[in-house]
Homo-oligomer: A and B are copies of this chain.
Amino acid sequence: MASLDLTADIVTLTRAVVDVPSESLEEAELADAVEAALRTCDHLQVVRDGHTIIARTELGRDERVVIAGHIDTVPLNDNLPSRLEGDTLWGLGTCDMKGGVAIALSLAAELSEPVRDVTWVFYEAEEIAAVHNGLGRIAREHPEWLQGDFAILMEPSNAGVEAGCQGTMRVEIRTTGERAHSARSWMGHNAIHDLAPVLATLAGYSPRTVDIDGLTYREGLNAVGVRGGVSGNVIPDEAVLTVNYRFAPDRDEEAALAHLREVFSGHELTVTDSAPGALPGLGRPAAAAFVEAIGGEVGPKFGWTDVAKFTLLGVPAVNYGPGDPRYAHKADEQVPVEHLHRVHDRLREWLSGH
């Protein structure tokens, strides 16, 4: 069984976490190691649910912050074990998001008396279908475990604060026709041709940009898949276009769908996937204080992340973690060593009060 030395320097600890493979649904070994290491800390109350581990300080502080990271990764892509080259640490999970997990583990062990109570959350199965997501399960079954004044999700954000997140909705637009031999096409009705006005709408669509709390969110409406055709000599009787709408967090899912129904009026829409956005909530005192303490510019989060789960629980949340998200899920996944040190230092300062 793997074991983790939480007192090691942050690069060494990150490598140790990275080098325990933990593809989604295969997090048992890493979860065991995380649990065992945290249980050695007398200042933490540790609970485990599945492969999700939660460790809390109970110091009676005025404020509680929830700091969360997922311990699973996408599948191996010939990019383990980790490799340190100069200023860069390479390997599966270095960016998404074992760098953030290692920082959280390090500070959970080190800070026995933080100025804010902390709920450390290490959860499973973020990279696969939502039904498996450990944070989602806790939010449904034990929402009280996630309560706090503020939450930080340590997804890669280039070591800067990214606030809120955009929502995402996928719909299928299906056209139906009538089959015929293509040598006698007038006896049928071509479903692919019926996509013409839908694609024209998409090509001519102007997405919104929305200012919220001083951040500018940019929406997007895009075809992400199209399929149709029976064989090379048959007029197709069905075509399906999959459209992905990324919407600013001033719209909820209902408003997003209403917008799509208006844009594609006259067409049948089937929602295949949907997740709400999260408002940045930077006006809340806890969030404002965090941003103030961390310093630097705050940006909007365009991609969807689990911060939305905290928003649904009424907890303002931001993304803050090491790594450039463009390297997530890539064979050349990597994290700058400087990010690991910077995020580690800044979080320690904010939590320890000096």
The residues of A with any CB-CB pair to B shorter than 8 Å are 166, 168, 170, 181-186, 190, 192-197, 199-200, 202-203, 207, 218, 220, 222-236, 239, 241-242, 244, 246, 273, 302-304
Contacts and interface: CB of A to CB of B under 8 A. Distances in A.
This protein's copies in its complex: 2
Contacts of A244: 182, 232-233
Contact of A202 (B166, B196, B220): B196
Given A193-B199, A196-B199, A199-B192, A227 B224 contact: no
A112 B227 CA distance: 57
Contacts of A200: 196-197, 200
Given A183-B168, A304-B183, A273 B232 contact: yes
The 5 closest A-B pairs by CB, nearest first: A225-B229, A185-B220, A196-B199, A183-B303, A192-B223
Given A195-B226, A223-B228, A226-B227, 6 more contacts: A166-B183, A185-B207, A193-B199, A224-B230, A226-B228, A229-B242
B246 A183 contact: yes
A183 B304 CA distance: 8
Contact of A232 (B170, B183, B229, B236): B170
Contacts of A235: 222, 224
